[in-house]
A and B are shown apart, each in its own frame.
Chain A
Amino acid sequence: MPTFVYMTRCDGCGHCVDICPSDIMHIDPTYRRAYNIEPNMCWECYSCVKACPQNAIDVRGYADFAPLGHSVRVIRDEDRGTIAWKIKYRNGTEKDFLSPITTKPWGKHIPKLAEVPGPTKEMRDSQLLYNEPKWLRMDDGGLRTLKDAGLTLKKGVYY
């Protein structure tokens, strides 16, 4: 069904409603808890599963091709910068995986471009973007042009 919500775990906080890219996690007006209102528009992207503070959201594979009896659970830990997965097969096989999600504290290494020295007229008139030509060439020379590449424009054909 893609995502579903366990009745006893959900406290109706709405984190899933806030994050769902497909706008399909809604709060049920009677139970005051979240549920998936449109399973056939669910991508199984796990954004809501990762965002749920109660671990109340899980996924049951799409009914038209996925048999019952499996689970793929996840814990995304922003402080440690890791994501941990546990896969359980229908036949009981288990697999665990752990990956990094960031190498740096959140947002600390992204500069505020309103505060860096602004572009000169020369930069504006060039084809360069912010922070270039850094990273573009071995010799830190300028931007690649057709001339550098020894290329000339061949006339297009209308036919």
Chain B
Amino acid sequence: MAHKTIVEDNIDILVVGSGLGGSGAAWEARFWGQNKKIVIAEKANIDRSGAVAQGLYAINCYMGTRWGENNPEDHVRYARIDLMGLVREDLLFDMARHVDSTVHQFEEWGLPIMKDPKTGRYLREGRWQIMIHGESYKPIVAEAAKKSADKVFNRICVTHLLMDESKENRVAGAVGFNVRTGHYHVFKSKTVICGAGGASNIFKPRSVGEGSGRTWYAPWSSASAYGLMIEAGAKMTQMENRIVLARFKDGYGPVGAYFLHLKTYTQNGLGEEYESKWFPELQKMVGKEYLDPEASHLTHRPIPTCLRNHALISEVNAGRGPIHMVTMQAFQDPHLEEVGWENFLGMTIGQAVLWASTDVDPKNENPELTTSEPYVMGSHATCSGAWCSGPEDVSPPEYFWGYNRMTTIEGLFGAGDAVGGTPHAFSSGSFTEGRLAAKAACQYIDDGKGENIVVSEAQIDRRKKEIFKPLEHYKTYRNAIVAGDVNPHYINPRQGLDRLQKLMDEYCGGVTVGYMTNEKLLNIALKKLKVMEEDLESLAAKDIHELLRAWELKHRHRAAECVTQHTLFRKETRWPGYYYRGDAMKVDDANWHVLTVSRRDPATGEYTMEKAPCYHLVDDK
């Protein structure tokens, strides 16, 4: 198969991955760079791509400052305690002080946001959440991105970033292939804003067959944000901070509206409240600073989500499962029943399918909850991602190197899952981060920082060979066997994904081992990941669709390696309920009240780990 090379040159701002973060970047970039060339490269179709493809029923990050509801610093306090103290407060504060303008713009564009009939304000689901009819959230946001971009390239799987050859550690664009035509695409650009996704499917899922598609985070969130940036040598932070979700069993339907708006609650298989009885023991593990139920009760300071997970997991392990969500009371109210259902139809239709198929009507029966397999991402209630600069007026020197949301690679910016240290951004915060990155990227270009970039034909050709190698490999060895997928010369992407998930599950704290790991296990994981990397050179793709899966797997593998390195580095159990270091079962604030930062040397593949100081901008009030 001949793969035509298509070059898009002289780009000022290349957006890689146009979910909520990338779309925010493309949209805002046009204002600050009205004559600049803005191009989007997206793996799917931007009308339905990214984590919000299916829709959302809530916007989980809205301050309501104009109504006197919350100030940005209140949100920093909330996200900080939820993440057990470790976040980038400068980035969080910055996102929170801008996010309301994003949400109000969404309403101006036509997104139906529910209103409180008494006050006329947005209808609150919880302190930070507002309720929307968000079936078309993504098409509306995509429309905005399309209005700003010069060109949108749908169905381009971006595999690598291009690097400048005249100045070290400066980005020069990206390359990838079209998943329909098989053409090779080269994007030469002064800046790149990485809006690619976090990682589903790097840990073995609970489901065993078809249902493994019903991941909590979208199956197309293929860790490309991390695969692209780690591979290019960007520093990463808090990659160990994977998240485990307590959700409705099997369908992974969301619980936020149920807890906050419908006031449903959980109980064990005997019909008892179970959470609080685990807290005294847990307090010994994490310290009173992080778990103080009395103070939480008095001040509405939330109990960290991971600790509530820990109680759920412990109760099930004690033999008192299943855990139920008590819906039977709330669902007697027809309005609340409608909210409960529309919540699923708006963002997790699979849960409605599951209840219909199993005859579960939450009006008559309390549905089961469970904890999911782990996910690695940076926009929901966790904060893995690249180590980025903050804004000039807020960030301390260690957090500031010239341009807001720029990674440690010059000209490479991030938004959404790509940026580390900013949990609880969700959809609106990710879009806002994209806007912030876009303004900074325009400034970077206007300052002349993107001039005289050199990309040699050699670099372009080398990547081309690398990208299409799995197709060649298949062609070469396919006829060594009669038929089928068992071949001594290669593995296919599904076989590779199964191997990755199994080893991450068993050695890096997945669901089948109760989220438990330790130094010995993690070192075995690294060894197996290294061997797997060799085998990924023998990955075979029988068609372009499998080539897409092959590159998703390579990105997932690289992200998994980085997660394992970070988990090994942090010798404590900071987030019980997300994972446990069996050889260091306590929170160790004396040594680990820090952010972990890694860098993989692209030349050698060696990781350097360091501790970065955790600055507190906001007091504890």
Contact = CB atoms under 8 A, between A and B. Distances in A.
Given A110-B143, A129-B436, A153-B396, A23 B179 contact: yes
Contact of A87 (B73, B111, B352, B548): B352
A109 B109 contact: yes
Given A39-B213, A124-B443, A103 B110 contact: yes
Contacts of A155: 396, 613, 615
Contact of A40 (B66, B213, B545, B617): B213
A47 B393 contact: no
Contact of B590 (A76, A95, A159): A159
Contacts of B591: 159
A110 B26 CA distance: 14
A39 B494 CA distance: 13
A87 B356 contact: yes
Interface in B27-52: 27-28, 30-32, 34, 43-45, 47-50
A135 B617 contact: no
Interface residues of B, number: 103
B166 interface: no
A157 B613 contact: yes
Interface in A38-88: 38-47, 59, 61-72, 74, 76, 83, 85, 87-88
B41 to A, nearest CB: 15
Nearest to A157: B613
Contacts of A91: 359
A113 B25 CA distance: 13
B332 interface: no
Contact of B136 (A18, A101, A124, A132): A101
B338 A97 contact: yes
A137 B53 CA distance: 31
Contacts of A71: 356
A46 B54 contact: yes
A129 B219 contact: no
Interface of A: 1-2, 18-23, 26, 37-47, 59, 61-72, 74, 76, 83, 85, 87-91, 93, 95, 97, 99-107, 109-114, 116, 118-119, 124, 127, 129-138, 143-146, 149, 151, 153-159
B68 A109 contact: no
B261 interface: no
A158 B611 contact: yes
B345 interface: yes
Contacts of A85: 345, 352
B479 interface: no
What does DSSP make chain A's interface, helix, strand, loop or mixed? loop
Main secondary structure of the interface of B (DSSP, over half): helix
Nearest to B94: A127
Given A23-B179, A144-B97, A149-B73, A113 B356 contact: no
Which of B73, B136, B396 has the most A CB atoms < 10 Å from its CB?
B136
B617 A146 contact: yes
Contacts of B136: 101-102
Contacts of A72: 345, 349, 352-353, 356
B105 interface: yes
B30 A113 contact: yes
Most chain B CB within a 10 A radius of its CB, from A41, A43, A93, A102: A43
Interface centre among A65, A90, A151, A155 (most CB of B within 10 A): A65
Contacts of A157: 593-594, 613-614
Given A103-B111, A127-B94, A154-B615, 7 more contacts: A21-B48, A39-B213, A74-B345, A116-B31, A129-B98, A136-B97, A145-B393
Given A67-B358, A131-B101, A44 B219 contact: no
Interface stretch (B1-9, B202-210, B286-294): B202-210
B615 A113 contact: no
Contacts of B135: 76, 83, 99, 101
17 contacts: A19-B48, A22-B219, A38-B545, A42-B219, A43-B214, A47-B54, A61-B353, A66-B211, A83-B345, A97-B342, A106-B110, A110-B109, A110-B144, A113-B27, A114-B34, A131-B101, A151-B73
B98 to A, nearest CB: 6
B218 interface: yes
Contacts of B45: 18-21
B263 interface: no
B616 interface: yes
B67 A138 contact: yes
A2 B147 CA distance: 34
B346 interface: yes
A40 B54 contact: no
Interface string B399-422: 000000000000000000000000
B435 A130 contact: yes
B346 A99 contact: yes
Interface string B88-121: 0000011001101101110111111000000000
A119 B28 CA distance: 12
A61 B357 contact: yes
B72 A159 contact: no
Nearest to A158: B613
Given A135-B100, A135-B101, A45 B48 contact: yes
Contacts of B302: none
Interface in B383-400: 391-394, 396, 398
Nearest to B391: A127
